[in-house]
Structure formats: C-alpha cells, structure tokens
Structure 1
C-alpha cells in the first residue's frame, strides 16, 4: 500500500470512528479543535466476571491460532496484546473473500467479513478457554447483535472463527454454558464458525491502541478494556504489549 493510500485510509477511519463516538461533523470539528474530548464521560461496556469454560482444549502444539471478532478490531487487538502467552495479535478480516478484504469495502457491511483479530498463543501459558473467557468478559459485549457500542453493522458482529474441530467444540460448548447459566442479562449472540480465511488489515490499523492512546475513540471505548483485563486477570496481564511490528507478522 502506498504511503498516500495509508494516510487517506487512516484519515477516513479516524473520522468515521470520531463521528460515531462523539457526534455530528460540526461537533467533531469543535472537539478536535479545542480538545474538549477530554471531558467526555467514559462509556465503554463494563466488564463482567464470568466462569471459565467447563471444557477446554487438551494441551498439544506449542503454538495455536484462533480468530475472534467482537466489534472494532482496535480494542480486540489491544486487549490481547497485553495477555501473557499471546505471541501475536493481528487485526484483519474474516468471513468473506479475499477480493473484498479492504477496510472501505468491509465498512459498507455487505461483504460477509467481520473485523477480526488473529490471536496466536502458547497454550502451555494461556489456554484457549482462558482466551475465550477474556473475550467474553473483557473484550466486548457478546449479547449485542451486529453491533458493538457505537459501531453498527454485521462487520462488527460477535464471532469465533475456529481453526480446528477442537476449537469449534470448545467455543460452541462455552456459548451454551453461558446461556444456560444466564450469566448475562440477555442471550449471548456470538456465533461459532469454521475459519475459512483471515486477511490482515491495512498497516495503519495495526497496533492502533498503542500508537494512538489519546485518540477519543480509544480513550472512551478501548483503554477501559485494558484496565479491566489488568483488574480481572492480573496473573496473565503484562504491561508491555506484543506488537505486530515486533512480532514480525
């Protein structure tokens, strides 16, 4: 991708999320111009304490990958980059085809893609079950259908893209477990799907939370999730995130 395309794409993404987070164009201009976003109340979904899955994957390979969708990939990636045992977390697109895996196209909501994060982890340090527990309790609200916070559309749906049969069974069983126990006030709408492809997002989307910690959308929606991870899962939280630029992905 050319540098001009990257700059234009980033500008479009920033404007879209800022507008949804704060208000209309005039208010956006005023907020950016005067720094009033610092006064906006935090409105991220509150994290909840939930039980771990009753079944988990047996230990096997030294490295494993699962793809998770739960709203804007900035926050999903940002949380998992702070989890011990995660060796890589890459923002991208899953659920559609390669020819439509571009931000502007996916944002129209008609490609079948969901903004997703490919999480690569060492199951000897953090299990798939713990990854999913964090996903359901901290990363997003799994009861929201085709939306997450200010972001609306099927591209922001809640979905687990399983890389193998074992992952699929663990994910499906955990969803059933949470619904049977009525852990949430509304049913979990997360789908367990077979992974058919993952397409990394544009470079300007990678490591977004770390690179833009003062951007209003991040302050309001995503930094509280990282704080919740540290509070609810202190034993596997790490201060220094594993970044795409350092993981070589």
Structure 2
C-alpha cells in the first residue's frame, strides 16, 4: 500500500489521481453475484477464515462491518515467520500476502456468505498480483483455506462464478493450504476506522464499506468490531 507520511501538495495530488484511476472502490465497481451453491453448516463453534485481497486496511475494514464477525485481524500469510513483517513483505519476495484473519460465528454468518462478500465488495478477484494502485504478489487475491472443507467450498464457488461469467474476466484468486497467518504490526490494526480521512482510505477503501452496506444490508453492522477494543 502507499503509506503517505507528509507529501508535498503536488505529489499528493498526483497520487490521488493515480489511485482514482486504478481503484476498485467506486459505486460503479459494485458487483452483484449469486451466493455459493455449496456452503458449510451454519452452526457450531467460532471458525476462522483468511482472505487476501490487496491492502489489508480495506479488507479488514469491510469485514469489521459484517454481522457475525467477532474479530478481523490484519496480517501476513503465505510465507515464513521470519519475514512476517511489513518492511520485508513490502519487498514482494517473501511469499506472504497482506491478509486478514476473520473469526466468525457460523450460526450468524456462513463461510459462503463471507466468500460472497469477499468476491463482490472487498476486492477485485480478476486482478492478478495487484489491487488499486498497489502491485506485487503481496497484494495477490488469495484464500488461505483452513481445512479441506473450506478449500472445497471456495473452489466450487470460483468455478460457479466463472461459469456464470459473474465478472468480465476470469477469477485469478488462488486457494492456498497449509500456511500460517501472522498478525501485522499494531499500527496497521483498525487503520480504516482510525484514519477515515487518510487519502488512500478515502479513495480505495471507504467506498467498499459503502458497497457492503448497499449490497448486503442484512449483514452490515454500522459499528465495526475493532481489534484494539478486544
């Protein structure tokens, strides 16, 4: 992601222009897709799902506004423990992707419904190794399945959406197993909620939350569940 510290006015204006050109965040990008035909049981103990879809600020922000989600933590998945830090991951050669670990109550929201939200508003699943203005494998679209059941549901859903031509281009989301999630640094947690006027958030991420509210009103929660209050 583009971490804007203190940029001169002209540089900031140039960044905003670039981000607007590549962002997946305007109302025109909202995608109405069917729910998965195959899903996991909507009951049982709390479960975990891990999704990667570009900068974790926006992905976390979306899922923090979903009913039934108990926690959504930004972090890294796909690489080794020793490289699970922002500076290393940003280099793009660690195998990690910026990801979000979502703890959810399956009696209130199913894994399939989380997948539907992930594919339709959290990111653009047809972009290979990029989202918005960010490029590199660390911004890839990936589902880190926690077990064979999640893997089967996710793969079946991708096949279903591609067959239905739900998107203009084929889905490039990978499904990865046997990887470990590592929480990101504290300053990355709850970033969207704590920095709603940050240019990157305004351009790329707040529209995603608005899309969630519009397309999934029954799943939308106005008050986000935050990492730092738990």
Q: Does the TM-score normalized on the shorter chain lie above 0.5?
A: yes
Q: Within 5 A, what are the aligned runs for 1:92-241?
A: 92-241=75-224
Q: Within 5 A, what are the aligned runs for 1:40-79?
A: 43-45=23-25, 46-79=29-62
Match of 2:71 among 88, 106, 120: 88
Q: Distance in 1 between matches of 2:20 and 2:176?
A: 36
SS at match of 2:74: strand
Deviation at residue 13 of structure 1 after TM alignment: 5.8
Aligned residue in 2 for 1:7? none
Q: Distance in 2 between matches of 1:197 and 1:122?
A: 21
1:243 aligns with 2:226: yes
* Alpha carbons of structure 1 residues 41 and 160: separation in structure 2 relative to 1, 3 Å: closer
Aligned length, in residue pairs: 225
Task: Report the structure, 1 or 2, having the larger helix content.
Answer: 1
Aligned residues of 2:24 and 2:123 also touching (Cα < 8 A): no
Deviation at residue 27 of structure 1 after TM alignment: 2.4
Aligned residues of 2:129 and 2:135 also touching (Cα < 8 A): yes
Q: Distance in 2 between matches of 1:222 and 1:102?
A: 22
Aligned residues of 1:67 and 1:195 also touching (Cα < 8 A): no
Q: Distance in 1 between matches of 2:212 and 2:79?
A: 30
Deviation at residue 61 of structure 1 after TM alignment: 2.5
Tell me the TM-score normalised to structure 2 length. Answer: 0.91
- Specify every segment of 5 or more residues in structure 2 that has no aligned partner in the other structure, as ranges: none
Compare 207-216 and 56-65 and name the one that shifted more: 56-65
Aligned residues of 1:78 and 1:209 also touching (Cα < 8 A): yes
Q: Distance in 1 between matches of 2:44 and 2:226?
A: 22
Deviation at residue 77 of structure 1 after TM alignment: 0.1
State the 4+ residue runs in structure 1 displaced beyond 3 angstroms: 40-45
Q: Distance in 1 between matches of 2:11 and 2:194?
A: 21
